[in-house]
A and B are shown apart, each in its own frame.
Chain A
Amino acid sequence: MADATRWLHARSAAQAVPADAVARLDQCLDEALANIAAHGGDAALPVTLHFDVSALAGRCEAVLVIRDHGAAFDPLTIEPRPQAGSLETLQPGGWASR
């Protein structure tokens, strides 16, 4: 996972991706890989990463594709947890910590 982070930062630096965009991509990469490790296990391997920056009509776009081989599911079928009202009832995980 640390290797993937270093790879993202190196590729982003080579393409002069702005720091705030790199920070968002970094969050996405870490969360996706954490989910693959937690829920996919060995069956999800190999994981492939693809990073591309393009400029179209004066607009720059960075795309990070993270692909694994785990069993597919529809995330929209998962009922979000109710938002916790206090630290006592807060259960970390799921769709952020809300």
Chain B
Amino acid sequence: MSIEFTDVSPALRRIVITGRLDVPGTDAISTRFAALAASPEHRIVVDLTGVAFLASMGIRALVINAKAQQQRGGRLVLFVGQNDAVGKVLDATGIPQMIPVFNDLADAERAALA
């Protein structure tokens, strides 16, 4: 389980999560994820292309951080690339209607900054 970030620009941060976002995996990254996603200067793209498994605890972490960004006037979007395992779980739970989900990184970055 790992979580890394790149400040793509002064206004945009990409957070890259890899591994299993199940209960233990989400526990392992949740504090750092919240800290990285709480930046008041940055809009956030969360890169889930390296996530092998997404459970409800992982979805919960995504929702909590997306809501926190929105409440401070920011925006958090998700980039899944061709990760069908994660895309199917997001679709099944209705998340794309709440948090924008993109297959293309450039689209995700544009949406985050819009």
Interface residues of A in 78-98 (CB under 8 A from B): 83-84, 86-88, 90, 92-93, 96-98
Interface of A is mostly: loop
Q: Which residue from chain B places its CB closest to the CB of A97 in the assembled complex?
A: B93
CB within 8 Å of B: which of A21-67?
A: 23, 26-27, 30-31, 33-34, 37
Partner of B55, one of A30, A37, A83, A84: A30
B98 and A87 form a contact (CB under 8 A): yes
B59-114, CB < 8 A from A: 59-60, 63-64, 66-67, 70, 85, 89, 92-95, 98-99
Q: Is B40 in contact with chain A by the CB < 8 A criterion?
A: no
Given A90-B63, A92-B56, A92-B59, does the pair A97, B95 have CB atoms closer than 8 Å? yes
Q: Which B residues have a C-beta under 8 Å from some C-beta of A?
A: 20, 22-24, 53, 55-57, 59-60, 63-64, 66-67, 70, 85, 89, 92-95, 98-99
